[in-house]
Amino acid sequence: MKRQHYLVGLLSALILLIVWIAMSVCVSGGIIPSPLSVIRAFSLPSFVPNFLVSMGRVITSLIIAILTAVPLGLFLGQNPQWDKWIAPMIFLTYPIPKIVFLPIFFILLGIGNISKVVLISLVVFYQILVTTRDGARSVKKPFIDALVTLGGNTLDIYRHVIIPACLPAILTSLRISIGTSVAILFFVESFATRNGLGNLILDAWGMADYPMMFVGVIGMSVLGILLYEIVEILERRLCKWAQL
């Protein structure tokens, strides 16, 4: 099954490569560069530092969002008396596009990494929080009662029942959040910054350096795929019971 998965992935990559080559031949002006010219651009020293900066921003943001959203979501899902007061505030602010707060964060936190990380964390926080809360609310009470009957305390209930039951939903929300975080990353790196893949793409676009622009685009894609695969590996190891 795993071999078939890799074969399908390889075939998909081959199809994309063929389409890319065809478009580079058909579109004039070098707007879509050939794969060979993009490969040459990867060897330039500007790619790796910018890739590492962007990766650091995304990973830091995801860690902050997980450490804040997961405990709060588990708590609210299992404590209706608190959820009754906090949930309206969450759902009132959830639809607001957080990206509009970027100028405010720049004013309050400066134009460095902190404002960018805070904005990405805020966007991802809501996605993970809502999913975790709903997962915790859906845990069946008989499972909890069975553990209490065996002498389990509150910590045992969270450790052996609630967290394992919510883990697949948490990891699913994390996978979705990876795509969102990379998209927001491009936006926050498009303003008042001198590093990162978003800045690399816009600089290359402004100078009509299309091979380097594609290097930035591919770099962001690789970043998203890499983080997505890490979550897939975590799910296979931590949720073996859900795959039976």
- From residue 81, alpha-carbon distances to 85, 86, 93 in Å are 7, 9, 20
In this predicted structure, what is the pLDDT of residue 192?
Answer: 75
How does the average pLDDT of the chain come out, rounded? 88
State pTM to two decimals.
0.88
In this predicted structure, what is the pLDDT of residue 67?
Answer: 96
Whether the Cβ atoms of residue 33 and residue 214 lie closer than 8 Å to each other:
yes
In this predicted structure, what is the pLDDT of residue 1?
Answer: 54
pLDDT band at residue 241 under the 50/70/90 scheme = low
72 has pLDDT over 90: yes
pLDDT band at residue 182 under the 50/70/90 scheme = very high
41 has pLDDT over 90: no
Q: Hey, what are 83's tokens?
A: 């959820």
Q: What is the pLDDT of residues 196-228, one digit of tens each?
A: 999 999 999 989 899 999 999 999 999 999 999
Instruction: Give the mean pLDDT of 237-242.
Output: 75
In this predicted structure, what is the pLDDT of residue 212?
Answer: 92
Question: What 3-state DSSP class applies to 121?
Answer: helix
Total Cβ atoms within 10 A of residue 172: 15
Q: What is the pLDDT of residues 98-111, one digit of tens each?
A: 888 888 998 999 88
Instruction: Give the mean pLDDT of 181-186.
Output: 92
Residue 183 or 28, more confident = 183
> CA angle, corner 215, sides to 9 and 45, nearest 5?
125
Q: What is the pLDDT of residues 114-159, one digit of tens each?
A: 999 999 999 999 999 999 999 888 888 887 878 878 787 878 888 8
Residue 171 or 29, more confident = 171
64 has pLDDT over 80: yes
pLDDT band at residue 46 under the 50/70/90 scheme = confident
In this predicted structure, what is the pLDDT of residue 42?
Answer: 85
Total Cβ atoms within 10 A of residue 44: 12
Which of 221, 139, 131, 222 minimizes the C-alpha distance to 176? 131
